[in-house]
Amino acid sequence: MLRSISRTPFSMAVSAQKQTAVRALSASAVSNDRARSKAFGAIRSSGNSRDMMDITNLEDFQFDDSSTVGYDRMEAQREVRKYLRITKYELPKLKAFVKPFQAPTNTQILRFRTTTYLGESNHPAGRKVVMTVDTRSLPLTNAELHKFLLLVGSRYNPVNNEIKMSCEKFQDRSQNFKWLSDTLDKLINEAKKEPESVSDVPLDLRHAAKSIKPKVRFPKEWNRPVANKTA
C-alpha cells in the first residue's frame, strides 16, 4: 500500500529553486552551443573548413613570447632560487638547536640506522630501521650467550661479533624502533632460561663462511730467489 507523501511549503520552495537552477544551466549550455556553432560557421564562411585546433592552422610564431623550453628553464631557476633562499635565511636558524656531542655510555649499547629520502616523505624504504649490537656488551654469561647466538641464527656476524636486525613491518618508523628493542629483550630473556640444555649444540656459521674463511698466503720460502744484478 503506497503511503501519501505530504510536502511542506519549505520543501516546495527548495524544489522550485532546484528547478530554476536546472533551467538556468540548460539555458547557459544552449547559449554556449549556439556561440560555438556561430564560431565554426564563421570559419566555414571564410573558406577555411579545416579544424581550428589543427596545429597547421596556428599562426606563425612572431618571437614575441617565450617558448615551452624557455618556460621550463625559468621554472627550474625559480626552484633553485627557492632553495638558495632557504639556505641563506632558514638554515642559520638551526644553530639554536645545536647540542654538544656526547659519547654513548656503557648502557647505550644499541645502534640504529635509518634512511631519509629528501623530497619523498612517504618513501617505502624510509620506515626501515636497522639495529646492531655488540654481543660482548650484552649482560649474558658464556652459556647464555651461546644460547642467544643459537636463537639469532644468521643475524650474527662472527667477524665483528655483532647482531644485526632490521624491521619495516610497520608504517611508522618509531614502531619499528620499538619492535626491534622489544624483540632483543625477548631474546635475552629466553637465552637466560636453562642455557645449559643447549650448550652442546654447535653454532651454525655457514652464512658467514666466506667472511671467516682464512686467507691462504703464499709462503715466503717458496718465493723465487732474486739474483743480485751487478752494474
DSSP string, 165-193: EEE--SSSHHHHHHHHHHHHHHHHHHHTS
Distance, CA of 196 to CA of 177 (rounded, Å): 31
Q: What pLDDT shows up at residue 118?
A: 82
**Any bridge partners for residue 112, and if so which?**
131
pLDDT at 117: 87
CB 136 within 8 A of CB 122: no
Closest to 125 in 3D by CA, of 161, 59, 171: 171
Neighbours of 127 (CB within 10 A): 19
pLDDT of residue 10: 47
Residue 113's closest CA among 127, 132, 130? 130
Instruction: With beta carbons less than 8 A apart as the criterion, state whether 130 and 166 touch.
Output: yes
pLDDT per residue rounded down to tens, the chain (231 residues): 334 444 455 455 556 655 666 566 566 655 666 665 655 555 555 555 456 667 777 777 778 888 888 899 999 999 999 999 999 999 999 999 999 988 888 888 999 999 988 878 788 899 999 999 999 999 899 999 999 999 999 999 998 899 999 999 999 999 999 999 999 999 999 999 999 999 899 998 888 887 777 777 888 888 888 777 665
